[in-house]
Chain A
Amino acid sequence: MSAPRHTKFYLDRQNRKWLGVCAGLADYTGMDVTLVRIGVVVLTLMGGFPWTLIAYWITAWMASDKPAELADETPEQAKFWRGVRTSPKRTVRDVRSRFRDMNRRLADIEAYYTSSNSRLAREIEQLR
């Protein structure tokens, strides 16, 4: 088994009601757990009777438990990885735009210090 992946679907045993599929799905997509459960129950009652159960079992059988390393991530990290799961491209673009923004801010600071240095030099020149 390789290192735990952030972009994989895991069962969420900590918040489970039955086998942890709904909680895992909620954790994976960022939706509310209760909403996911209600959706599954409604889908089952609306005529998907055996199929939702079969899908639930297959998911519970195929997916593994959430590793302990991933359980203790901060809300900010959880949000970031949720974004990666839904759209990796957009997340990469976000990170790039953050770096660009920092570059711009750093350029402002640099401009201030270089200009203030020249201003200081001019003032000293005028005092002579």
Chain B
Amino acid sequence: MEDILLPIIIVGMLFVGLPWVILHHITRWKSQATLTAEDENLLDELHELARRLDERLCTIERIMTAENPNWRSVACDPASIGIEDITARPERIGK
């Protein structure tokens, strides 16, 4: 009995189980393949755009820092504007 059963099981595993597993993984892998060529171009463009915008922003921030080193605190904290006024006014009038 075992002499007949064992080869059947082995052949079944080899010719049914193995291709099944392989095909299963191939189909899963194919459905997972994500980026199309369009997506890739879009991503490329967005990345390039982000880089350029970043550079421009850095330039503007540098210019602003050169003009007024503490512009960030003035912009971020509206409460400090009044304090800024007092310190800023005498020197402006003085000029």
Contacts and interface: CB of A to CB of B under 8 A. Distances in A.
B85 A119 contact: yes
Please list the 9 inter-chain residue pairs (A to B) with the smallest Cβ-Cβ separation, ordered nearest first: A112-B75, A111-B75, A98-B50, A112-B71, A108-B75, A88-B34, A95-B46, A88-B35, A7-B35
Contacts of A111: 75-76
A78 B84 CA distance: 47
Contacts of A119: 81, 84-85
A102 B35 contact: no
B64 interface: yes
Interface in A1-19: 2-3, 5-7
B76 A106 contact: no
Interface stretch (B1-9, B10-18, B54-62): B54-62
Interface of B, secondary structure class, is: helix
Contact of B74 (A80, A88, A106, A115): A115
B85 A123 contact: yes
A54 to B, nearest CB: 16
Given A102-B50, A123-B89, A112 B74 contact: yes
27 contacts: A2-B37, A7-B35, A7-B40, A84-B35, A88-B39, A95-B43, A99-B53, A105-B57, A108-B72, A108-B75, A108-B76, A109-B60, A109-B61, A111-B75, A111-B76, A112-B71, A112-B72, A112-B74, A112-B75, A115-B75, A115-B78, A116-B74, A119-B81, A119-B84, A119-B85, A123-B89, A123-B92
